[in-house]
Amino acid sequence: MRVLGVRHGATRVADDATVSGDMSRRSRDERALLREAVRLACENAERREQPFGALVVRDGRVVGTGVSTILRDGDPMAHAEVAAVRDACRSLGTLDLRGAMLACSCEPCPMCHAAAVLAGISRIVYAATKDTAARHGFALSGVAADMQSTWRAKRLDPVEHVPTEGADEPFVRFDERART
């Protein structure tokens, strides 16, 4: 699978995987999607917005994209993952995203995780860990941290960290913009 190009709601992914379901191919495919989520997050950071991006992929194509618009909108729930899920639902004309994967530039918070579960997302992969985010001032605390720990401990759905080169770059760019 290769990301062929991104336009809002029109991203196509080429499926080069063999019928055998080669795990290393899947890993490369996921990394390509995660690099795209990281690229969206970097662009968002350049716009002085929070450094998060996400994609919803179903049947080999990107059906939804999102970036954080928390600062622009003054909306604490305007997270990239929620925006991507909303975009996917609109573009597909359904509230049911079963069989879809959510690829995130960073480990989803409990709200974003819940949005994915409620929409039927089958798998979540992410590039940067919550520890990376915390090092740049985006740490979960209190109830939100407890909720995330509870969700992960129960293993309610597949959520997986896929180490991705440059996963910290959106945070670096955000930090640089904050100082200027």
Q: Which of 81, 107, 160, 165 is catalytic?
A: 81
Distances (CA, A) of 168 to 2, 66, 105: 22, 18, 9
Told to judge if 81 belongs to the known catalytic residues of this protein, a careful annotator would answer: yes
| Contact yes or no for 112/144 (Cβ under 8 A) | no
Q: How far apart are CA 40 and CA 42, in angstroms?
A: 5
Nearest CA to 116 out of 55, 44, 49 is that of 55
Residue 25 exposed, middle or buried by CB count within 10 Å (0-12, 13-18, 19+): middle
Annotated catalytic residues are 81
